[in-house]
Amino acid sequence: MLATGSREGKGTDKKSARTRLRILDAAAKVLSTKGYAGMRLSDVAAEADLQAPAIYYYFSSRDDLVEEVMWVGLADMRAFLTTALADTPADATPMDRILVAVEAHLRHELEISDYATAAIRNSGLVPEQIEERHRAEEKKYGAIWRDLVKAAAEAGEIRDDLDPYLAQMLVMGTINWAAEWWKPQRATIDRVVANAQSYVRHALAPVDR
């Protein structure tokens, strides 16, 4: 659905690039639904409306395709988050920035969900080789959050009884898990975002007195 710019040689051009993207989208969808081991190339091909061997014209192996989906999932997420934070007014407090991040993460996860869900859900299910490179990208994303939490802690916007690392992980759980339960019928994304922001703010903030 959205892939950060163009990657690799073969076809930044027209038809070719679109086919490649169609395959990537299809893979993201299947991957987020069936998981790494459950993704069959024939499913991906059907979803992309072509024959399975055609995939090999664009990706050298199944794992190559998976890796790119997961990479795109995280990279797009990071790009989205980075942009959102860059757009934050200069006078925003560290906690404001955390809430901006919560919104960005949720909106991306629930709207572009295929890539993001694929990346999130298959985190521990892929073979070592993919895992490693994925882990590296994951670290970069986590680093942004760590900095956000750290800044808030130093500004006294996080309660003393919370360990910054654990706090960060609990927040990630709060928002990552949404991919598992959220369905459009249950609540609008706007409502989910509003609730999650309130939930997270109070979860972290010192008690007003």
Partner DNA sequence: AATGAATGAGGATTCATTCAT
Partner DNA sequence: CATGAATGAATCCTCATTCAT
List contacts with a second copy (CB under 8 A): 33-38, 121, 123-125, 159, 161-163, 165-167, 169-170, 172-178, 180-182, 186-187, 191-192, 194-196, 198-200, 202-205, 207-209
Please, what is the minimum distance in Å from the beta carbon of residue 186 to a second copy? 7
Select the binding partner of residue 62 from a second copy, DNA, none (C-beta < 5 to 8 A, by kind).
DNA
The answer to whether residues 98 and 152 touch, using CB atoms and an 8 Å cutoff, is yes
Q: Of 51-90, which residues contact DNA (CB under 7 A)?
A: 51-54, 56-58, 60-63
For residue 6, state whether it binds DNA (rule: CB under 7 A).
Answer: no
| Nearer of residues 3 and 36 to a second copy, judged by Cβ | 36
146 binds DNA (CB under 7 A): no
Q: Which does 152 bind (CB under 5 to 8 A by kind): DNA, a second copy, none?
A: none
Contact yes or no for 175/106 (Cβ under 8 A):
yes
Q: Does 177 bind DNA (CB under 7 A)?
A: no
Site for DNA contains 13 (CB under 7 A): yes
Q: Which residues of 62-80 are buried (b: 16+ CB within 10 A; e: fewer)?
A: beebbbbbbbbbbbbbbeb
Are the C-beta atoms of residues 43 and 33 closer than 8 Å to each other? no
Cα→Cα distances 199→90, 164, 186, 193, Å: 24, 17, 18, 10
DSSP secondary structure letters along 117-166: HHHHHTTTTS-HHHHHHHHHHHHHHHHHHHHHHHHHHHTT-S-TTS-HHH
- Tell me: does residue 16 bind DNA (CB under 7 A): yes
- Please, which residue, 27 or 77, has the CB nearer to DNA? 27
Of 22 and 201, nearer to DNA (C-beta) is 22
Of 62 and 201, the one with the shorter C-beta distance to DNA is: 62
By beta-carbon proximity to a second copy, the closer residue of 143 and 194 is 194
Q: Is the Cβ of residue 82 or residue 174 nearer to a second copy in the bound state?
A: 174
Percent of the chain as helix, strand, coil, to the nearest 5: 70, 0, 30
Q: Pick from 24, 27, 31, 41: which binds DNA (CB under 7 A)?
A: 41
CA nearest to 99, candidates 27, 149, 49? 149
